[in-house]
Homo-oligomer: A and B are copies of this chain.
């Protein structure tokens, strides 16, 4: 590990040990109980700081709790892993994790009616209002991942045997959420450009009606899918679904938190986002937003009464199972939110960087972009069967030669060993890093005597 990165972690960890001394001390003393040990630890941090500043020293800590390596992927590398880029925390979220890590840390001031989204201090209630506004929907709740948002919707709308139309590129969690409710998925096919159109969905709805005698209960559609990150015509699809009175679930796992999403303009009945995928938040976290029309269904409160005690828990929402993210994940989401909201306004620049990189990538003869091109997203599926895979076929490391070359240049996140079709994301990289990334790809290609069109 880069010694400065190492020393930064060591300093942070040493401060957590100091913090533990303060936690251990009873409240009637103003400092730690053992002043000598405390002073010693402070000196240790000073020594670490000296090393951190000078870039000197040797690693003193290698594991957490005996068996967990320190994770320094984001400090040491350019990370092009397709699903990690937009879940990288902001410094504010990291500070929030430090301050609010403990179990039920959101609940210090939980008062009547005792529900997470009603808590005023910290401003969790306000955050829920802002989340709904951010997506231009009427009501929002945080959920433990987008998939739990899908589940809340399918569990509310889908009965055993019911059909749900999904994209032929639907994420597997959409399949599972329908299956958990006892429903059946029906895929709307792609056109020749790997796009789901409004017509495809309308046809699929017709097909379901003629096959089963009933309209599907829901259309679930990814705005940008997880395979190609191609854009699908959500607005048209919503219109088509609504013509059959079928509500539309907008899967924004690859949009909410990175680009502007206007749920009502798109015609979405449900907007779902992923905190750990696209909102710079820890896992598991996400958002489920809906309209006034559907809020009472999805966020319905319990109707159950205890037969013996006559207990009722009227304010608790069935699909949320009461409270959802009652600690660190939520507070970190909130801490990232101002940055996240702002960054969605800079989406054009992210798309520019994506296209800048892909242009350089395509200059390597034999390389292909499998996603729609020019890119409208930072996530891209590429095919290097005609370029890097040609090298891999005769290299003693096989496809790992490529991972190795990238890693030597401080780049990680491509699927190790994969040199045919694979995915990557340029999200959040500075222009400097983007240029360096592009140069590195070209450099590796030239090293292995692949043709590179450098004029571009």
Contacts and interface: CB of A to CB of B under 8 A. Distances in A.
A15 interface: yes
B87 A94 contact: no
A326 B76 contact: no
Given A42-B49, A68-B334, A284-B327, A410 B28 contact: yes
B65 A322 contact: no
Interface in A89-143: 89, 91-108, 121-123
Contacts of A302: 172, 175-176, 179
Given A101-B282, A106-B283, A144-B145, 8 more contacts: A68-B100, A71-B100, A84-B107, A98-B98, A103-B282, A168-B309, A173-B321, A283-B327
A331 interface: yes
A324 interface: yes
B307 A64 contact: no
B26 A78 contact: yes
Contact of A66 (B24, B30, B338, B410): B338
A245 interface: no
Most chain B CB inside 10 Å of its own CB: which residue of A22, A275, A433:
A22
Contact of A16 (B42, B94, B176, B308): B94
Contacts of A72: 99
A46 to B, nearest CB: 6
Contacts of A421: none
B329 A328 contact: yes
Interface string A287-329: 0000000000000001110111101010010110110111111
A52 interface: yes
Given A168-B308, A283-B328, A64 B144 contact: no
